[in-house]
A and B are shown apart, each in its own frame.
Chain A
Amino acid sequence: QAVVTQEPSLTVSPGGTVTLTCGSSTGAVTSGHYAYWLQQKPGQAPRTLIYGTTYKHSWTPARFSGSLLGGKGALTLSGAQPEDEGHYYCLLLDSGVRVFGGGTKLTVL
């Protein structure tokens, strides 16, 4: 089973841009990993922001976008808002099994 790695923590200024990444121990992340990005705020269940690497749900704010970057999955937040603080988890499909990354704690400060 792959190990999925994410930055443990990142800080972004209000209105700023930040990119979270998601790597796999088995090699480059590709479209075949169907990267997902979930947001979780304290005391709440997670919710999916991005699926299939780049697709957004209807509830996903336009300031979030997904991509592949340098062999990793990436979630870019452009124009950070205070309500974007929370934990962000990457989820990859690897050999038929879904594996979460350890999560990134994003601080907007």
Chain B
Amino acid sequence: EVQLVESGGLLVQPGGSLRLSCAASGFTFSDHYMDWVRQAPGKGLEWVGRTERKGNSYTTQYAVSVRGRFSISRDDSYKSVSLQMNSLKTEDTAVYYCARRSLRDGHYFLDYWGQGTLVTVSS
């Protein structure tokens, strides 16, 4: 069974840093791109970024809103992906989901999601 479990969500002050982790199980982690998506309380979804596989040099991409502040890394040996968040702003308050990206019919899509971890940025 595919499982994704996020951790690390906390209350942090504006300007602070936080590192989220996502532990994967039930599939060959190294074969998949992994994405982070967030959802502010009562709001819609916002794509944060993704990391590709070793074969794509672990290439990362980010949404404009987090570029330069957030970074995604992965450890295939530990089957985990991390989201390092720096210079946090109150508008970064959200539930953060990690999601697996799979290739099917020539298209990549997010097929499995974790349950999310809450990050609150407040003084």
The residues of A with any CB-CB pair to B shorter than 8 Å are 1, 34, 36, 38, 40, 45-48, 51-52, 55, 57, 87, 89, 91, 96-103
Contact B104 A45 (CB under 8 A): no
Contact pick for B107, options A38, A51, A98, A99, CB 8 Å:
A51
Q: Which residues of B contact A40 (CB under 8 A)?
A: 45
Query: Which of A45, A48, A91, A101 is the most central at the interface, judged by chain B CB atoms within 10 Å of its CB?
Result: A45
Q: Which residues of B contact A102 (CB under 8 A)?
A: 44
CB-based A-B contact count at 8 angstroms: 64
Q: Which residues of A contact B106 (CB under 8 A)?
A: 52
| Residue of B whose beta carbon sits closest to that of A45 | B113
Q: Is the interface of A mostly helix, strand, loop or mixed?
A: strand
Q: Which residues of B contact A96 (CB under 8 A)?
A: 61
* Interface size, B (range): 20 to 34
Contact A97 B47 (CB under 8 A): yes
Distance, CA A57 to CA B116, complexed state (A): 22
The residues of B with any CB-CB pair to A shorter than 8 Å are 35, 37, 44-47, 50, 61, 63-64, 97, 104-111, 113-116
| Residue of B whose beta carbon sits closest to that of A34 | B107
Contact pick for A89, options B35, B45, B115, CB 8 Å:
B45
Known: A1-B64, A45-B97, A97-B64. A103 touches B113 (CB 8 A): no
Q: Which residues of B contact A100 (CB under 8 A)?
A: 37, 44-47
| Residue of A whose beta carbon sits closest to that of B106 | A52
Closest 4 CB pairs of A and B: A52-B107, A51-B109, A45-B113, A103-B44
| Residue of B whose beta carbon sits closest to that of A40 | B45
| Residue of B whose beta carbon sits closest to that of A51 | B109
Distance, CA A100 to CA B40, complexed state (A): 13
Q: Which residues of A contact B114 (CB under 8 A)?
A: 45
Contact A48 B109 (CB under 8 A): yes
Q: Which residues of A contact B47 (CB under 8 A)?
A: 91, 97-100
Minimum CB–CB distance for A38 against chain B, Å: 7
